[in-house]
A and B are shown apart, each in its own frame.
Chain A
Amino acid sequence: MNVIKKVALVDLLKGMSITLKTMFKPTVTVHYPFEKVPPRERFRGIHALKLNPDGSYRCEACYLCAEMCPSNVIDMEMTEGKDGKKELVDFTVDLTRCLFCGLCVEACPRDAIVMTDIYEFSQYSVDKLILHKEDLMELGRYYQEWERKRR
């Protein structure tokens, strides 16, 4: 039986029939730069800082996210404001180290730091990958727009 199989090249012909059949199947390629797969709803992209409706920061510089972060991505600066409250001076997210685990989002008691669905953030220089307060707030506006649309 085995000899007959070998002589008649059964296995080889089987393989060839599979490739021939596959040739007439539709392709599964997504032509990436021209067409994109929308990310899933809970996709963890780059960070953003949400704002209150009156435009003030939601973040109150409690350092919980920085504490939680396993790769030391988040750093922030704060001062005492006029009314004695903490006030955020700068908030940096170093994307070169971030592993997008989302622990900072979970740690935040005020739901201030969130993750957007942006995954295309390549830059030509490393220092552009360190996001500051302004960038994060810009992203926060984008996130809140997206959140509103989803509702």
Chain B
Amino acid sequence: MTENLLSMAFIVGLMLVAVPPITYLERKVLGHMQQRPGPMVVGFHGILQPLADAIKLIFKEDIIPKGADRLLFMFAPSFSVFAALLAASVVPIGFIQAVPMKSALLFVMAMSAISIYALILAGYSSNDKYSFLAGMRAAAQVLGYELPLGFAIMAAVILYGSFDFNEIVKWQSQHGWGILYQPIAFLLFLFVMAAEVGRPPFDLPEGESELVGGFHTEYSGMRFAAFFFGEYINIIVLSLVVSLLFLGGWSGPLADKYPVLGVLYHLGKAAFFIFLTFWLRATFPRYRFDQMLSIMWKILLPISILNLFVAAAEALLVG
């Protein structure tokens, strides 16, 4: 019991503490990919920039627009953080797992799907046509990506025969990493992950070039920041999940003897995927709305369904 509470505190703490450095690293990476240095002024190479941002956001005036649905408007940002943290609670990092659960993978997927409701609610309650459009886009996007995402995960589940992350990692330490068996599911998951967390090239609900700020147009101060907390926690959680599903999670040399090493392996693997989201953002322009839906429904969905058969065959062969 105390172990669970400690793990819970660790995971929630890690998620909340990791977000500001990640925003800093994102701006740094993005900057260097465009041949500019990113934040440079506050502290050594701008290292204190997240702190400066936080102070600025805390002291900003908190505005609720006229005609907004006040309750939903205030509820939406906290819901974004809440759903993301719920998803984080069942994801094990090495030997640290806050809530051991047999169907943890299913729970993570449900929670990260629910977190899109924060965007829909924000768009709906803001009394702003841009926010409203963004909310509609978020709703349509969830219809687009949930199917390929579900099928990609099902392929992995068929192969491993379990929803439990511990079982999945055990299977992989016996038979080798999942990416060797399911490269297609891995790629599908990476693709869809960008849509799930609303990151470029699928950041349609945010769409700052056409929708002002998308769903967070009307938000200011810490409510605005809460959306980003939710978004970045989701990125961390999904990066952890990808490395669990396809890269063997915390397995690695000497990880059995020293569990702490396993934690580091897992976080290292997840760090690569977090970097990948920055990399994708620096490289690709946003897909148009209809393009996004046609990619999801006409290309990724058939591929992911066919991939189920491949997974079934592999499950029979490897057992």
Residues of A within 8 A of B (CB): 9, 12, 15-16, 18-20, 22-29, 31
**B313 to chain A: which residues have CB within 8 Å?**
none
Are A28 and B33 touching (Cβ within 8 A)?
Answer: no
Known pairs A19-B283, A20-B279. 8 more at Cβ < 8 A?
A15-B284, A19-B33, A22-B32, A22-B34, A23-B32, A23-B33, A27-B32, A29-B37
Are B40 and A31 touching (Cβ within 8 A)?
Answer: yes
- CB closest chain-A residue, reference B37: A27
Complex Cα spacing A23 to B28, Å: 10
Which of A16, A23, A26 has the largest number of chain B CB atoms within 10 A? A23
Which of B31, B32, B283 has the largest number of chain A CB atoms within 10 A? B283
Complex Cα spacing A125 to B102, Å: 69
- CB closest chain-A residue, reference B28: A23
Complex Cα spacing A80 to B203, Å: 72
Complex Cα spacing A115 to B32, Å: 38
Instruction: State the total of A-B contacts with C-beta under 8 angstroms.
Output: 37
Decide yes or no whether B2 CB sits under 8 A from chain A.
no
Complex Cα spacing A26 to B36, Å: 8
What is the 8 Å Cβ interface bit string for chain B, positions 50-73, against chain A (1 contact, 0 not)? 000000000000000000000000
**A12 to chain B: which residues have CB within 8 Å?**
283-284
Binding site secondary structure of chain B? helix
**A15 to chain B: which residues have CB within 8 Å?**
283-284
Say which residue of A16, A18, A20, A29 sits within 8 Å of B36 (CB atoms). Answer: A29
Q: Is the interface on chain B under 10, 10 to 19, 20 to 34, or 35 or more residues?
A: 10 to 19
Decide yes or no whether B282 CB sits under 8 A from chain A.
yes
CB distance from B190 to the nearest CB of A (A): 11
**B187 to chain A: which residues have CB within 8 Å?**
9
Are A28 and B35 touching (Cβ within 8 A)?
Answer: yes
Are B36 and A27 touching (Cβ within 8 A)?
Answer: yes
Decide yes or no whether B29 CB sits under 8 A from chain A.
yes
Within 8 A of A (CB), among B1-41: 29, 31-37, 40
CB distance from B192 to the nearest CB of A (A): 15
CB distance from A8 to the nearest CB of B (A): 11
Complex Cα spacing A24 to B279, Å: 13
Are A19 and B35 touching (Cβ within 8 A)?
Answer: no
**B33 to chain A: which residues have CB within 8 Å?**
19-20, 22-23
Complex Cα spacing A64 to B243, Å: 76
**B280 to chain A: which residues have CB within 8 Å?**
16
**A19 to chain B: which residues have CB within 8 Å?**
33, 279, 282-283
Say which residue of B29, B40, B284 sits within 8 Å of A23 (CB atoms). Answer: B29
Complex Cα spacing A23 to B33, Å: 4
Which of A19, A20, A28, A29 has the largest number of chain B CB atoms within 10 A? A19
**A24 to chain B: which residues have CB within 8 Å?**
32
Complex Cα spacing A24 to B31, Å: 11
Known: A23-B29, A31-B40. Contact between A16 and B279, CB under 8 A? yes
25 contacts between A and B (CB under 8 A): A9-B187, A12-B283, A12-B284, A15-B284, A16-B279, A16-B283, A19-B33, A19-B279, A19-B282, A19-B283, A20-B33, A22-B33, A22-B35, A23-B29, A23-B32, A23-B33, A24-B32, A27-B31, A27-B36, A27-B37, A28-B35, A29-B35, A29-B36, A29-B37, A29-B40
CB distance from A120 to the nearest CB of B (A): 19
**A23 to chain B: which residues have CB within 8 Å?**
29, 32-33
- CB closest chain-B residue, reference A14: B283
**B31 to chain A: which residues have CB within 8 Å?**
27
Within 8 A of A (CB), among B145-175: none
**B32 to chain A: which residues have CB within 8 Å?**
22-24, 27
**A16 to chain B: which residues have CB within 8 Å?**
279-280, 283
CB distance from A64 to the nearest CB of B (A): 46
**B35 to chain A: which residues have CB within 8 Å?**
22, 25-29
**B34 to chain A: which residues have CB within 8 Å?**
22
Q: Which 5 A-B pairs have the closest CB atoms?
A: A19-B33, A23-B32, A19-B283, A27-B37, A15-B283
- CB closest chain-A residue, reference B282: A19
**B284 to chain A: which residues have CB within 8 Å?**
12, 15
